[in-house]
Structure 1
Amino acid sequence: MQGKEFQFAGKRHIRWKLVLGVLGIVGAAVAIRWFWGSERATAQAPGPGSASTARSTPEAIPAPAPRGNSGASQAPGASGAVTSQPSQPQIVAVVNGEPITRDELRRECLRRYGEEVLESVVNKYLIMEECQRRGITVTAEEIDAEITRMATRFGMPVEAWLKLLKDERGIKPEQYRRDIIWPMLALRKLAGQKLLVTPEELQREFESRYGPAVKARMIVVSRRDLAERLRNEAVAHPDQFGDLAKQYSEDAASASLKGLIQPIRKHVGQKEIEDVAFGLKPGEISPVIPVANQFVILKCEDQLPAVKVRLEDVRAELEEMARDAKLRTVAQEIFQELQKRAQVVNVLNDPQKRQQMPGVAALINGRPIRLEDLGEICIDRHGEEVLELTINRKLIEQACKKRGITITDADVEAEIARLASQNLPPRADGKPDVERWVDMICEQQKITPEIYRHDLVWPTVALKKLVNADVQVTDEDLKKAFEANYGPRVRCRAIVLNNLRRAQQVWEKARANPTEENFADLAEQYSIDPATRALRGEVAPIQKHGGQPNLEEEAFSLKPGEISGIIQVGPETYVILYCLGFTKPVDVDFASVKDILTEDIREKKLRLAMADYFDKLRAAATIDNFLAGTTQSPNLTRRAAGMESTVR
């Protein structure tokens, strides 16, 4: 369940708590969140002017002092403290003539990202200190070679790989070099002999990638008694396993495909599932398999043979994958040892310590990280994203001020209570379960309650007040909503295609043999949509006024057993329907549901109006974003449009 607050973030809103997020693309890189800090590496990292450092960034912490240097125990403010930041422009943006200062941006960045960035700074410092203690260095050439290796693995030139990371993940090339690749290489060297791959590990990697596999369907439930009952039904009627999975399985991804899962391979997932799967014959149903707090039932569809490839032909690739997998575990052990030996005082998250040491974010072995410097690291990493949020909020604040609208804490709390009452059962006293709702949203979004209220709920409340008077629910709206929710629906099978010529060929095949079975076979063979392909064309009943007028009009014109024409529902998307019949209208009186429908329609129209209002607000604004180097002005836009018209 997601929060329903109005989203007014900028182009990118990525919260990098885990480097694992990066590794969704990178794949073979090391999945350790401590890699992800924006401070510049010191003695062992690429130096200024090297091929691996695109520009100078603020020093987050000093280089670890050589052993025997008393600077390691200096107090805050002593000569061993963090170097002062280079002079930066104090105005980072101007919104309709109103400035946003760097201090304001720094505070916003620290509020959102200070904790996670501080952790990354501390852990990277520990890597640097250990490398210096053991005389380990990582050169610019090694970093460039590793980037080339990663790009090659994914079949890309280096520049294309770096561009992908920047465009898709918001990781700048210099950040990738110093904050992901450098720590990864440093940890590899610190791990040393622990990363040697044994013959047994190589064989496991080979089997997991190229060995035999099991094509299977799966049912997952949380109760043992239900699992046993479903297993008995599946054994009695194996052909109904998919329907049971669709109806009962708690794994939504596979349930939507009637239990179908990716082929099970050895040494990849849960050993207890793998052991059972490889012991089944095609068509057999497994016993109930306890896994953690759930119970799994498998149906073997087929035993797939191993891929015909020689171990020697893929040895180098497999050894690399095995080393990367081992590094995840070994790096965890290294960090635990480094953290045991280190003396780290977290000032940022302790109000009492912040009073005692103003301006200090943390102490690492007695050496201070200044709050200002930590803020600059946050700006370097997240500044553009946070500035976009700050600009957007500024626009809404200006609009509210112009209209004399105020947003109180009570308004914000009332909106949260409304959301809680809509999405959760009430508390025992009948009141909305606000605390549970906030906890749930903050856990899902990985944000604090303060950020939830400030970034999500406040803009929702403000924009609602700005557009509220313009939103009306008409009788026509209510009529359509009643038909959509309680009227008849069309039961269909569907084939989805992305090519008109192919759609015409499939339609001719369907018309030549207009039976449901043939249509289902065609859906399974030709549909480009994974769900309709796996379910042989089965789709949810089509309602009126659901947002696809062409599709709905054609569907409601069909009789049971009829095949539709080719319906275009997108620029390159075509649908063919087979009508199975109509559902019965729900027996409900309009008056009894009018209030519910009115509230639902109003909420939907409000959100559309809010989005439209904000888009117009943004388009009409004059914005100078100095951090991103962009300027927006309605006058400039109109002038450019006029010049273009003249040229034409």
Structure 2
Amino acid sequence: MGTRAAVWRWGGVIPAVLVATAAAAQPPAQAPDVGKRVAAFIHGTTAVTREELGEYLIARGGMDKIDLLVNRKIVEIEAARRGVSVTALEVAAGFNEDLQASGLSRDDFVRAVLPRYGKSLYEWENDVVRQRLLLGKMTRDQVKVTEDEVRKAFEAKHGERREAFVIKWPRQPTPLPDDVKKLAVSDQQQFEKLATQQPNDLKENGGRIAPIGRHIDGEDPRVEKALFELKNPGDAVWVETETTSTCLRLIRVVPPDAVTFEQAKAAIEKDVFDRKLSRLMPEVFLKIRTAANPQLTQHVPERPAEPNAKPAPRAQHPDPKVLAVVFGTVPVTRGDLGEFLIARGGFERLEPLINVKIVTTEAAKRGVTASPEEVEAALADDLKAVGVEKADFVSKLLPKAKKTLPEYLEDEVRPRVLLEKMCKGKVQATEEELKKAFERHYGEKRTAKIIMWPAGQFRQAQKDWDLARQGDAQFDSVARGQNDPNLAAAAGQVRPIGRHGDAPNPLIEKVVFELKEGELSQLFQTPAGIVCVKCTGVIPPAQAVDFAAVRPALEKEVLARKQGQEVAALFAQLKAAANPNLILRGPPSEAENAEGIRQIINQSGVTPPKQ
């Protein structure tokens, strides 16, 4: 992919590696600090600030967004210097153009397109549409459209067109043999077979392309000439260029549209202008960025370098809050990055931050700490309990939860270790609890299958139950069709059930131990939904297991379970006492967006353009 494509995609500025030089830069007077604004209150009057949330996000992968922030700031400042602005209405109109171009509704665009680019709707509007509009306004004076270009575009769109099958085969490293090419021309079946084997996206439709006209951007004139020399459906020809062997097989000739040049001129002229503008904007951005000379400071951690590549140099800056400098003196601060992250979904992380703060604040009051070694040991115990290797946990499980290992340790493990220490000595294992644990592990068990329906679907449950009780095959058929994917995949089979289990609803355990092997229960209601249970077997008690021999392991298990319950209860108590009041509940409003842009411009010493 070329340089332009690497920094520009779908009209939006995409983060690129900043080319920094070692030069100190002194920032101008700082814009008013918005980081002290309150994001939430706990304990009535204790503030959780936006600055805290920003730092929380930066520590959890947010530094990866610094390049995108720098690019955005460069464009905003340069636009202000040129007196260029974009209103919220223009952004909305630009987004509607994206919807029209994609042929999707707003909801479908949000659901299908945005996840592909890893963006929220707010990010698309502000980091793609807004930046595209600003750059477009700064570029449009450089775009000139000639009469010849408009006439060629008219011919391409409304003139005679060709619909065809196309095979494009690279001449390197392995060119197609001449005999294969001859067969593709003379034998349509061989053509179709080769079309589905070509090493590009054309193979998806067997090489078929929509009707195209003359003067198509990016097409080799030799290929276009050969295509328009084909007269009869089924005619085929190979065209050789320096890099590609192209075979064309004509499907049909599409006659010109019944529209005159004058009738279509205005629309065609706009299309040509827009295409030239889109091609020129990346060049303008690169010139602006080069002039801005963005420099990351030594306060941005080094990134993994490409093999044999030298690490990008860092500019030295005395202020640890300054992460980058643009235009010689304009700083990009940790506060800027924090606000940038908050606006782009970071507000959803406010509650996890509050939870951590509630626990760490209470632990500090009690003089309770958790060392890195204790946190790592707790993680090792967790992984051992579930039989997962740390490497697999980091590479396979954490990415599914969209967490890094440091984030998991700080947000999940450390708070739990602190809570466990605060609960230490509060639980004991009674003799009765140990005996119940012994019976749970070594006493009689039941193998069972379960079918569950959502609450409120009693009629459907009754209908399915009538079918399920007709036999094993019918039961399995219903079980595989239930809503719960885990139960469905196993045809309802669950792990053997012992007495005195830890299930939040003991009714299932009670029901299954009332059944004989092969019996199916009546439908019954649980908090999780409507349930029926089938007992598939009875596992007799384990023989020759000495209670005294396994007592230490049972005691450890009971204490761990009770401590877990105590930890949950303590956290619930602490959170209720903190009574969090969340002020920040969504992305910035239009007014907050405008204020943020004004602050970016003010930092550069430029007078904001009038809207």
TM bracket (short chain)? 0.5 to 0.7
Is the contact made by 2:398 and 2:404 (CA closer than 8 Å) also made in structure 1?
A: yes
> Which ranges of structure 1 fall in alignment gaps of 5 or more residues?
1-28, 37-71, 205-265, 275-329, 426-431, 630-648
Check the 8 A contact 1:85/1:373 in 2, yes or no.
no
The alpha-carbon deviation at position 121 of structure 1 amounts to: 1.0
Q: Mark the CA change 1:610 to 1:570 in structure 2 (over 3 Å): closer, same or farther.
A: same
* Equivalent residue for 2:425, pick from 469, 488, 495: 469
Separation (CA, whole Å) in 1 of partners of 2:13 and 2:433? 50
Which whole-Å CA distance do the structure 1 matches of 2:89 and 2:164 have between them? 30
Which of 471, 475, 480 matches 1:519?
475
Change (3 A) 1:444 1:535: closer
Aligned to 2:496: 541
Amino acid at match of 1:144: A
The answer (yes or no) to whether the contact 1:417–1:434 under 8 Å persists in 2 is: no
The equivalent of 1:370 in structure 2 is 332
Aligned match of 2:31: 84
Letter of the aligned partner of 1:399 in structure 2?
E
Look up the match of 2:173.
none
1:620 equivalent among 549, 556, 577: 577
The answer to whether the 8 A contact 1:34-1:120 is kept is yes
- Which residue of structure 2 lines up, in the alignment, with residue 7 of structure 1? none
RMSD: 5.7
In structure 2, what is the Cα distance between the partners aligned to 1:598 and 1:201? 76
Q: Provide TM-score, normalisation by structure 2.
A: 0.52
Moved more, 117-126 or 573-582: 117-126
In structure 2, what is the equivalent of residue 565 of structure 1? 522
Task: Report the AA paired with residue 345 of structure 1.
Answer: Q
Contact 1:354 1:360 in 2 (8 A): no
Which residue number in structure 1 is paired with residue 377 of structure 2?
417
Alpha-carbon distance change, 433 to 620 in structure 1, aligned in 2, over 3 angstroms? same
> Corresponding residue for 1:479?
435
Give a deviation string over 1:262-296, Cα, whole Å, max 9, x none.
xxxx99xx99xx9xxxxxxxxxxxxxxxxxxxxxx
Q: Which amino acid aligns with 2:377?
A: A
The separation in 1 between residues aligned to 2:473 and 2:479, in whole angstroms, is: 10
| Counterpart secondary structure, 1:112 | coil
Once residues 162 and 327 of structure 2 are traced to their aligned partners in structure 1, the CA distance between those partners, rounded to angstroms, is: 41
1:290 alignment counterpart: none
* Cα contact 2:378–2:413 (8 A) shared by 1: no
CA contact (8 A) 1:493 1:539 kept: yes
CA contact (8 A) 1:520 1:536 kept: yes
Residue 580 of structure 1: which of 536, 546, 554 is its match? 536
The correspondence of residues 441-460 of structure 1 with structure 2, limited to 5 A, is 451-460=407-416
Shift of residue 141 of structure 1? Answer: 5.3
Task: Evaluate the alpha carbon distance shift between residue 408 and residue 30 of structure 1 in structure 2; reply closer, same or farther with a 3 A threshold.
Answer: same
Indicate whether 1:120 and 2:68 are aligned: yes
Instruction: Output the CA distance in 2 between the equivalents of 1:484 and 1:506.
Output: 32
Contact 1:345 1:363 in 2 (8 A): yes
Cα gap change, 1:102 to 1:123, in 2 (>3 Å): closer
Correspondences of 1:34-433 after superposition (within 5 Å): 34=14, 76-77=25-26, 84-85=31-32, 95-96=42-43, 97-100=45-48, 104-124=52-72, 143-145=91-93, 147=95, 153=104, 175=123, 177-179=125-127, 181-182=129-130, 344-347=294-297, 348-350=299-301, 353=315, 356=318, 358-364=320-326, 366=328, 368-371=330-333, 372-381=335-344, 384-385=347-348, 387-402=350-365, 404-409=366-371, 412-424=372-384
Alignment partners' CA distance in 1, 2:495 and 2:462: 24
Look up the SS of the partner of 1:542 in the other structure: strand
Q: Residue 361 of structure 1: CA displacement?
A: 0.8
**Higher RCO, 1 vs 2 (CA within 8 Å, ≥6 residues apart):** 2
User: What does the per-residue CA deviation read over 1:581-604, in whole Å, with 9 as the maximum and x for residues that have no partner?
Assistant: 223444544333332332233223
For residues 382 and 349 of structure 2, the distance between their equivalents in structure 1, rounded to whole angstroms, comes to 30
Match of 2:516, SS state, is coil
Deviation of the 1:391 alpha carbon: 3.9
Retained in 2: the 8 A contact 1:492–1:578?
yes
Aligned partner letter, 2:459: R
Give the corresponding residue for 2:233.
Answer: none
State how far apart, in whole Å, the 1-side matches of 2:398 and 2:59 are: 15
Cα 1:568/1:132, change in 2 over 3 Å: same
Superposed counterparts of 1:633-644, under 5 Å: none
Pairwise CA distance, 1:146: 5.9
| Contact 1:91–1:101 (8 Å) recurs in 2 | yes
CA deviation map 1:36-94 (0-9, x unaligned):
9xxxxxxxxxxxxxxxxxxxxxxxxxxxxxxxxxxx9997336xx69724667566655
**Equivalence for 2:458:** 500
TM-score by length of 1: 0.50
Letter of the aligned partner of 1:361 in structure 2?
L
Give the secondary-structure state (helix, strand or coil) at the position aligned to 2:496: coil
- Structure 1 position 95, deviation (Å): 3.9
Aligned to 1:25: none
- Cα pair 1:75 1:367 within 8 Å, conserved: no
Work out whether residues 113 and 378 of structure 1, in 8 Å CA contact, stay in contact via their aligned partners in 2. no
CA distance in 2, matches of 1:143, 1:446: 30
Does the residue aligned with 2:60 lie in a helix, a strand or coil?
helix
Distance in 1 of aligned mates of 2:392 and 2:452: 41
Q: Contact between 2:60 and 2:407, CA under 8 Å: does it hold in 1?
A: yes
SS in 2 for 1:561: coil
Residue in structure 1 matched with residue 604 of structure 2 by the alignment:
none
* Separation in structure 2 between the aligned mates of residue 466 and residue 339 of structure 1, nearest angstrom: 58
Residue identity in the other structure for 2:300: N
> Identity percentage over the alignment?
28
Q: CA deviation at 1:473?
A: 2.2
Q: Distance in 1 between matches of 2:11 and 2:432?
A: 54
- Classify 1:554/1:358 alpha carbon distance in 2 versus 1 (closer, same or farther; 3 Å): closer
Q: Which stretches in structure 2 are left out of the alignment for 5+ residues?
A: 1-8, 144-155, 168-195, 205-277, 303-313, 587-611
Please give the per-residue CA displacement for 1:381-435, whole angstroms capped at 9, x wherever unaligned.
Answer: 4664565455444433443355x433153xx42242143145259xxxxxx9999
For the 8 Å contact 1:82–1:368, the answer to whether it is kept is: no
Cα distance 1:494–1:617, how it changes in 2: closer, same or farther (>3 A)? Answer: closer
Maintained 8 Å contact 1:361/1:368 = no
Q: Which amino acid aligns with 2:506?
A: P
Of stretches 476-485 and 604-613 in structure 1, the one that deviates more from structure 2 is 476-485
Alpha-carbon distance in structure 2 between the residues aligned to 1:407 and 1:31: 50
Contact kept in structure 1, 2:35 and 2:49, CA below 8 Å: no
- Aligned pair in 2 of structure 1 residues 624, 520: CA closer, same or farther (>3 Å)? closer
Residues 519 and 88 (structure 1), Cα distance of their counterparts in 2 relative to 1, 3 Å cut: closer
Q: Distance in 2 between matches of 1:584 and 1:31?
A: 68
Change (3 A) 1:581 1:203: farther
Bigger Rg, structure 1 or 2:
2
Letter aligned with residue 508 of structure 2:
L
The separation in 1 between residues aligned to 2:342 and 2:453, in whole angstroms, is: 45
